[in-house]
Every structure is written in structure tokens, then in C-alpha cells.
Amino acid sequence: MRNFKGFYTMLALVAYLLLSGCASLNTQTQNPPSSPPTVSSSSTSSSIPGSHPTTPLAAPAPVFYDFKDVPVPPEFTLIQKESNVLQTSTFKSGVLVFKGRVNYNSVADFYLSAMQKENWTLKASSRYSHCIMVFEKPSKICVINIYPKAWYCYLKIYILPIRTP
């Protein structure tokens, strides 16, 4: 009976540690812990008498890596050992792999908007278990693959040349 008491005590301690650790872990956040909170546009005015209206904070600017027309949300970190870029005298192509603690759907929404600003045309997309988007410019194709895995959201960006006849 004595062994069971120690076992149950250890089990209770492990359960407590797991539950208290998981309660503070938020894997669905759009802002990294170090970034300032943003004010949503729906709360731009205050209803408190004597207070001044608030303005929304600017969203963090996207980051550009090897491909100067493909933005990356700033919450992502490049995984160099899984990335590979080939550059010739006329073209640069390859794959960049990132991971970050961001909401999977917000990343997909980011790319629908940001790629249009960089003059990419959406040719195809799919969502749910993972998201694949295919964008095109006159001389190249960009494939964006977004998928959740364990505690992170992963992002793979492929750039390929379009062969012209």
C-alpha cells in the first residue's frame, strides 16, 4: 500500500506540472511574447468620459529574405539547415523553411493580402490540414506551404522559374 501512495503522489505532481505549464502556453497567438499588443480597429474610440480616442498600433512590417518580393511574417524564424537557395547569373530559386508560434489561419490570410501587394497573382490554393497557395509572376512561380506541427506553425516558400518557349 505504501508504494501506491508514493505513486499517486508522483502522478498528482506530474499532472499539476503539466496542467499549470500548458495553461500558460498559447500556441495560437498572432503576436510573439516580446512584441507589443495591438489595438483592434473596432476599439478606436473610447466610451470612458474624459478619455481620448485611441488609435490602432501599426502591425509589424514583414521581413524579406533571399527573395525580395516574397514577404515573411516577422514572427517566423528561418531554419537554415532545411533551406536552400540556388542563384545563377539570371535567376534565383530555391526553398526557404521557417517556423513560428503563430495562428495557422492568420498566416494564410497574411499571404493572400501581402502577395497581392507584391504584384503576385494567386493561381490556386487549398486549406485545412495544411495550406498550399500558388502565386505567379511573368517569369516565376511561388508556392507557399503552411502547416501546423506540434507547437509550431511551419512555412515553406518555394520559388521556381517559369520556362518560356
Report pLDDT digits (tens) over 96-138. 999 999 998 999 999 999 999 999 999 999 988 899 999 999 9
Domains and their CATH numbers in the chain:
64-161 (3.30.310.80)
What pLDDT score was predicted for residue 6?
A: 55
What pLDDT score was predicted for residue 137?
A: 96
Environment class of 9 (CB within 10 Å of its CB; exposed 0-12, middle 13-18, buried 19+): exposed
- Please tell me the distance from the alpha carbon of residue 45 to that of residue 67, in angstroms, as a whole number: 39
Q: Which long-range contacts (CB under 8 A, 24 or more apart) does 60-69 make?
A: 60/35, 62/110, 62/114, 65/96, 66/92, 66/94, 66/96, 67/92, 67/96, 67/142, 67/157, 67/159, 69/118, 69/119, 69/120, 69/137
Cα 71-124-137 angle, rounded to 5 deg: 50
Task: Tell me the C-alpha to C-alpha distance, in Å, between residue 164 and each of 15, 33, 92, 135.
Answer: 61, 46, 16, 17
Higher-pLDDT residue of 61 and 82 is: 82
What pLDDT score was predicted for residue 108?
A: 94
